Amino acid sequence: MPWKERSIMSERLEFVYLALQEGANRSDLCRRFGISRETGYKWIKRFEEEGVAGLEDESRRPHTSPNRTSEEMERLVLKAKREHSAWGGRKVRTLLIREGYEGVPSASTITEIFRREGLLDRIESVKHKPWQRFERESPNELWQMDFKGHFAMREGRCHPLTVLDDHSRFNVGLWACGNEQAQTVKEHLTQTFRIYGLPEYMLVDNGAPWGQDGEHPYTFLTVWLLRLGVQVIHSGAYHPQTGGKDERFHRTLKAEVLQGRFFQNLPHVQAAFDQWRPIYNCQRPHEGIGMEVPASRYRPSERLYPEQLPPIEYAPGDIVRKVQNGGWVHFHNHVYRVGKAFYGYPVALRPTETDGLWTVFFMTYPIILIDERTDPQE
């Protein structure tokens, strides 16, 4: 499958950043992105020689960056500000240095240029107070997933779905959705897993379609993730800051893409997302990772998405039951509810050290206790 027509620059930029990571398997990346090795190595070579401009179909940027006069540099600073209106002096300075320009002024000088041109108010409006966050040690240990608050379009409402890698802040998924249903999320995650592989854990909140439901906390979506070997963590009740990195990403998305714009429909929103996502991942300096770009700290997971799952098997001594419609299992002439999200799957019952108390397992995950000493759920 060739590059997606709707986001050619996005695909090229993301590919080369990941391919240039230390130890990257470039042949494997070509396969994941659906391109030939010849095409992949061509874009790597162009990027190494000319930077981002080399990824255009016909590069117009000179191979060297000559010294700029202060007037020319000011024009570059203001051009960067027009393209990234929510960025401050530090981000603009880092971007220009990274693109190879010489004589880039200090961040305070750039901020003063913004002030003189009457552009500082927009910077002030998106300032935030930084706070220390826990960070996973390597990519794909934990992904954070959430829906950003939905908003009106000319045709219906948009529910942005975002997935962020905890370690790198790399955005592995950004989609304009028409609803917040499990099937919609599953389709988008499947597409993402095929490119980036599987994370070890997925952090979600307590809302639909992955929210907990009291005694039976599993949903069809979270059971599907468990089936893939992805463990699900729910953020603490009334503590959305548990998923703080994704919440911060939502603020950035609002400031740099959504604020002050009115969209026609979902394709219109998705086009804006596709245009901005490579800027966030590959160009925008991130203060939380020392002004590096997220793509510099990310690499795809070695756990590939399985197109066909093997059958679920349990140990010879386990008592295995198939979950019936409504989430019930038959055991010792009674029925017990283990959760309707497990309908159709086999589960294993194993005795605990307490007589009459059994643990029900789905694959390797304990999901509920069955207590024969109390009245069964007839």
Tens of pLDDT, residues 2-11: 444 446 777 8
The interaxial angle of helices 182-196 and 220-227, nearest 10 deg, is 20
Query: What's the whole-number mean pLDDT along residues 237-253?
Result: 68
212 and 119 part of one domain: no
Give pLDDT, residue 376: 58
Total structural domains in the chain?
Answer: 4
Same domain for 236 and 149: yes
Higher-pLDDT residue of 260, 63: 260
Whether 188 and 330 share a structural domain: no
Interval 313-329 mean pLDDT: 94
- Identify the helix (H) or strand (E) that includes residue 336: strand 334-337
pLDDT score recorded for residue 303: 94
Total count of residues recorded for the chain: 378
| 50 plus 79 within the same structural domain | no
How far from the centroid of its chain's Cα atoms is residue 159's Cα?
A: 15
Beta-carbon-side half-sphere exposure of residue 183 (alpha carbons within 13 Å): 1
Do 43 and 82 belong to one domain? no
Asked if the structure places residue 89 within a domain, the reply is yes
- 364 and 290 housed in the same domain: no
The answer on 254 and 148 residing in a single domain is yes
Residues 224, 363 contacting (CB under 8 angstroms): no
- Which range, of 116-130, 320-334, 344-358, averages the lowest pLDDT? 116-130
8-state DSSP, 65:
-
Tokens read off for 111: 């901020």
Do 77 and 192 belong together in one domain? no
CATH number of 148's domain: 3.30.420.10
Pair 371, 356: CB distance under 8 Å = yes
Residue 96 lies in a domain: yes
For residue 286, the model assigns a pLDDT of 75
Q: Is residue 136 part of a domain?
A: no
243 within some domain = yes
> Could you tell me where the DSSP H helices lie in 53-176?
70-83, 89-98, 107-116, 120-125
Average pLDDT of the chain to the nearest whole number: 82
- The residue segments making up the domain with residue 98 are 70-125
Does 170 fall in a domain?
yes
Same domain? For 16 and 114 the reply is: no
Any domain includes 60: no
Q: Taking the alpha carbons of 259, 264, 266, 267 in that order, is the dihedral positive or negative? A: negative
pLDDT tens sequence across 247-272: 888 998 999 999 989 999 999 999 99
Taking the C-alpha atoms of residue 184 and residue 306, their distance in angstroms, rounded to an integer, is: 19
Give the amino acid at 236.
G
Check: CB of residue 241 under 8 Å from CB of residue 248.
no
Q: Confirm if 245 and 144 have CB atoms less than 8 A apart.
A: yes
Q: What is the DSSP string of 145-169?
A: EEEPPPEE-SSSEEEEEEEEETTT-
Same domain, 121 and 146: no
Q: Do 281 and 161 fall into the same domain?
A: yes
Asked if residue 244 and residue 183 are part of one domain, the reply reads yes
Question: Where is the domain boundary, 32, 55, 78?
Answer: 55
Give me the percent of the chain exceeding a pLDDT of 70: 84
CA-to-CA distance for 260 and 273, rounded, in angstroms?
15
Residue 132's pLDDT is what? 39
Q: Does residue 133 lie in a domain region? A: no
Question: What confidence category does residue 277 fall into, taking pLDDT thresholds of 50, 70 and 90?
Answer: very high
Cα separation of the two ends of the chain:
53
Is residue 269 situated within a structural domain?
yes
Both tokens of 83, joined, read 């393209």
